[in-house]
Amino acid sequence: MLHQRERLQEARQAKGLTQRQLAGRIGIQQTTIARLELQQHEPSLRVALALAAALDSTVERLFADKSPRAASPAGGVTHDGERTSDHEQEAA
C-alpha cells in the first residue's frame, strides 16, 4: 500500500516533473511540494485540486488515507470537482 508521500511523488515522477516544475505549473513554492511529499503539510483544497489536475489524477488517489476504515463509500472527486463512484474508480 502506497502512502501519501509515495503516491504524490510517484505521480509527479511518472509525469517526468521535478518538484520545482510541478510547483511552477500550479503556482506554489517548491518547498510546499517537498513538504507535501514528506507529509509535513496538508494541501488546501485549491492546491489538492491543482495537483490532481496537473498530474492527471484525483485528489483521493493522491491524498486519501487508504486504510479500509477510511474508504469513502460515495467514491472520489476528480480534479474538476466531479464525483466518481467506487465502480468508476476501480475501472480507471
Per-residue pLDDT of 44-60, as tens digits, reads 999 999 999 999 999 99
Contact 17, 11 (CB under 8 A): no
Mean pLDDT across 61-72: 64
CATH of the domain at 36: 1.10.260.40
Contact 4, 43 (CB under 8 A): no
Surface-to-core class of residue 52, CB atoms within 10 Å of its CB (0-12 exposed, 13-18 middle, 19+ buried) = buried
How many domains in the chain?
Answer: 1
The CB density around residue 9, as the number of other CB atoms within 10 Å, is 18
Question: Domain span at residue 83?
Answer: 4-91
Confidence of residue 2 (pLDDT cuts 50, 70, 90): low
pTM, 2 dp: 0.69
Mean predicted lDDT score pLDDT of the chain:
79
Contact 47, 41 (CB under 8 A): no
Confidence (pLDDT) at 64: 82
